[in-house]
Chains A and B, each alone.
Chain A
Amino acid sequence: QQPVQSPQAVILREGEDAVINCSSSKALYSVHWYRQKHGEAPVFLMILLKGGEQKGHEKISASFNEKKQQSSLYLTASQLSYSGTYFCGTDEWGANNLFFGTGTRLTVIP
């Protein structure tokens, strides 16, 4: 089942923070986060496997709630290079077959 991703779009000034949410109606095996710039392929950011897990990647981090149904991506002190569309991909059975959300378009302006 396709996860619900929110917000659909967000505009930030450099240095501001953003949170992107990804929700499923059922418990998940894992959640993947990817960033895609216009005209390019998605690029992996991080994967969360355990309930309650939190992971960081420079100024981008993510959490996976205890019930393993919701994940959030946190972008802090945003930079111009953070602009792009962020997708969560959910794995329901551990087969690594992902259902992707419809994406969150993030625009960072000077």
Chain B
Amino acid sequence: GENVEQHPSTLSVQEGDSAVIKCTYSDSASNYFPWYKQELGKRPQLIIDIRSNVGEKKDQRIAVTLNKTAKHFSLHITETQPEDSAVYFCAASRAPGNTPLVFGKGTRLSVIA
């Protein structure tokens, strides 16, 4: 089955700097890669996702890149702000399909003001 590795497990950046979180996956048939943000004590919320027919997707300060050949994808946050502090999870699955999302173990991002 699918296995998703996520790095780093913790990341501290200065406010205004960029943050990059990387994930690798094992199932070459996976083609749906969402990213979730979980603030302390709250539910995970989808912040961006990418499907294998595109290599990059942006939404304001957030971008995700996908390299299907290398089987890795990354989350990029630019101009970080204190409210970006949270745990970020990457995930992968086949879509459309009936296989569940497999999550990475999360990255705790701290943005220092």
Task: State yes or no: do A and B come from one complex.
Answer: no
Mark B residues whose CB is within 8 Å of A.
none
